[in-house]
Amino acid sequence: MSTADLQQLVAEFVAANGLSAEVEARLLDLHAEVGELAKEWLKASEYGKGEFAAGDAWTQEIGDVFFSLLALAESSGVDLEAALRVALKKYGQRIAQRGDAGSGR
């Protein structure tokens, strides 16, 4: 399934289940889901004291983040596949020019 297919699948699910939301709400939802993912890492690693092991809860939280990102892209009219291609090009240029992909320079 392509990224466009996944984005369409989420759009159809949102429409069929009355889950439409404004872009701002989608952004906050994505932020909340990333927070839940971070919390799952803390729990799975015993707050950094042990080794992280991805389990079912981690997989579920990753799925929630992905759903939220797809829904945000759809509600804001962004083609995620095109956005990813732009990002990969940008990171490739940074690596070629500076040796890393970070933006903090």
- 77 token code pair: 């009219």
* Domain-located, residue 38: yes
CATH code for the domain of 43: 1.10.287.1080
12: left (phi over 0), alpha (psi -120 to 50) or beta: alpha
Angle at 88 (CA atoms; ends 84, 90), nearest 5 degrees: 115
* Domain-located, residue 62: yes
Q: How confident is the prediction along the chain (105 residues), in pLDDT tens digits per residue? A: 999 999 999 999 999 999 999 999 999 999 999 999 999 999 999 998 999 989 999 999 999 999 999 999 999 999 999 999 999 999 999 999 998 998 875
* Domain-located, residue 99: no
Q: How many domains does the chain have?
A: 1
- 51 token code pair: 């080794």
Cα separation of 23 and 25, whole Å? 5
- 9 token code pair: 């699948």
Q: Does the predicted model carry a pTM greater than 0.85? A: yes
Question: What range does the domain containing 49 cover?
Answer: 3-79
- 71 token code pair: 């829904």
Amino acid 103: pLDDT: 83
